[in-house]
Amino acid sequence: MSYKHILYDVEEHIATITFNRPDRLNAVFYPMRMEITDALLRSEADDDVRVIVLTGAGRGFCSGLDLKERAQGTNQTPLEQRLSGHPVARAFWSLEKPTIASVNGVAVGAGFEMALLCDFRFAAEGVRMGDLHVQRNLVPDIGAPWFLPRLVGWSKACEIILGGDFITAEEALQMGVVNKVVPLEELKTVTHEYAAKLARNAPQAMKLCKRLMRRGLTTGPEDLFHSALMLDGYLMETQDFKEALTAVSDKRNPEFIGS
């Protein structure tokens, strides 16, 4: 698929997906939604990619649903997608590689939800974010009702989703919604440095750690303990585990190849 509304770049094992409608603060509409879905699945399938970063062009991360397009009747979601679930949410949930939202500007509605779907969230100072669906007679449909109570607790989630109010990056940091808040001019560098750090880790181990943590959200500890032991047995037979042992012996950093 060729992209008109996003940018896609892979460098040093890091795939960067940039929402690219700066004149609309990167508001999403149906064609853009399908491009985001394709880019996420493409990143997951590419063995050269170890980390996925999402960010926005211009002044915004993503201002949510493009209501102007919707009002003009050009932002319709096909019925079959409504019956099978949001494609972006399904794509995010299928990812086993680490994801980072680099929130450079306003993140509202679908933009806020896509940030929540990422494993890490770094935000620029003063950025506003929130969920305004209740002000549009809509419900959040990309995962906020599932993720947010687990991040901040029931009452704070109600405050954000039912209250429909903006929160600042600093407030989001206090709530545990974001991992780090930095000056805007440092955000790109800080995000890249952390993505590069993740990319140096063993890719198979990160993938399986993420799988275990997700499983832990819906299963008991005994089942998770058993699964972890089985996965460690598998990982100990890989080339990357042998490389880790050699690196420890040689007193150097390991160079993982993902197998």
Residue 86's pLDDT is: 82
Tokens of 252: 């150097």
Q: Is 117 helix (H, G, I), strand (E, B) or coil?
A: helix
Residue 253's pLDDT is: 96
Please, which residues have CB within 8 angstroms of residue 119's CB and are 6 or more apart in sequence? Answer: 98, 99, 100, 210
pLDDT less than 50: residues of the chain: 83
Q: What is the pLDDT of residues 212-226, one digit of tens each?
A: 999 998 889 999 999
Q: What is the pLDDT of residues 80-121, one digit of tens each?
A: 555 456 899 999 999 999 999 999 999 999 999 999 999 999
Strand partners of residue 98? none
Residue 85's pLDDT is: 62
Cα-to-chain-centroid distance, residue 226: 28
Whole-angstrom CA distances from 111 to 105, 106, 253 are 10, 8, 37
Residue 68's pLDDT is: 79
Tokens of 124: 């620029």
CB 43 within 8 A of CB 36: no
Please, which residues have CB within 8 angstroms of residue 148's CB and are 6 or more apart in sequence? Answer: 116, 131, 156, 157, 160, 161, 177
